[in-house]
Amino acid sequence: MKLIISIVQDEDASRLVNQLMKNGYGVTKLATTGGFLRAGNTTLLIGVDDEKLHAVMEIIEHVCKSRKQMTTAPSNLGSMGGMPGAAASYPVEVTVGGATVFVLSVDQFVKL
Ligand code: 2BA
């Protein structure tokens, strides 16, 4: 058995949960926050038999589209323009969406 940990954008989460449930997969939805954007995202825990892993990955890939987003990132320079300690931020284009997926082998699965 595998545990799929899938971090997705909030706007994709409902559709993904619906698709997974429709296809008979168990899923747990967690409200999470990305460390870089400091924005909400959604983490899904999906436990599946090994032979179902590929099918679930296909559903995730199909539902979660990646897109570009502008954000501001903090500068870690420590000084700007000769002003030591001045804080700054700069716009960066990041790719969001898609899914960040971890697949773990499950030692034991019990329901007590
Ligand atoms: P965030 O940390 O908020 O990152 C959102 C997106 O910002 C990332 O998308 C990536 O495109 C960009 N990004 C992240 N760090 C960056 C940096 N230092 N410089 C420039 N751009 C950067 P994804 O890579 O698709 O990640 C989406 C979310 O998945 C992340 O949200 C985080 O919550 C999670 N994640 C990604 N990699 C992870 C990892 N190795 N371990 C745990 N969680 C991870």
* pLDDT tens, residue by residue, 94-106: 887 799 999 999 9
- DSSP code of residue 51: G
Instruction: Tell me, using a 6 A CB cutoff, whether residue 42 lines ligand 1.
Output: no
Give the pLDDT confidence of 19-38 residue by residue, as tens digits: 999 999 999 999 999 999 89
- Ligand 1 center from residue 83 Cα (angstroms): 30
Q: Is the CB of 98 under 6 A from ligand 1?
A: yes
Q: Which two tokens stand for residue 42?
A: 């959604």
What pairing do the DSSP bridges indicate for beta strands 40-48 and 28-33?
antiparallel
pLDDT value at residue 25: 98
pLDDT per position as a tens digit, 62-80: 999 888 888 887 666 544 4
In terms of Cβ atoms closer than 10 Å to its own Cβ (0-12, 13-18, 19+), residue 48 is buried
| CATH for the 2-67+96-105 domain, from 3.40.50.620, 2.30.40.10, 3.30.70.120, 3.90.1260.10 | 3.30.70.120
Q: What does the pLDDT average to over 36-64?
A: 96
CA distance 53 to 2: 7
Among all chains, which residue has been given the structure tokens 């429709």?
22
Q: Which position has the higher pLDDT, 79 or 48?
A: 48
Report domain extents, the chain.
Answer: 2-67+96-105
99 contacts 65 by C-beta, under 8 angstroms: no
Query: Contact 109/47 with Cβ under 8 angstroms?
Result: yes
pTM, full prediction? 0.82
Residue 83: pLDDT over 80? no
Is 90's C-beta closer than 6 angstroms to any atom of ligand 1?
no
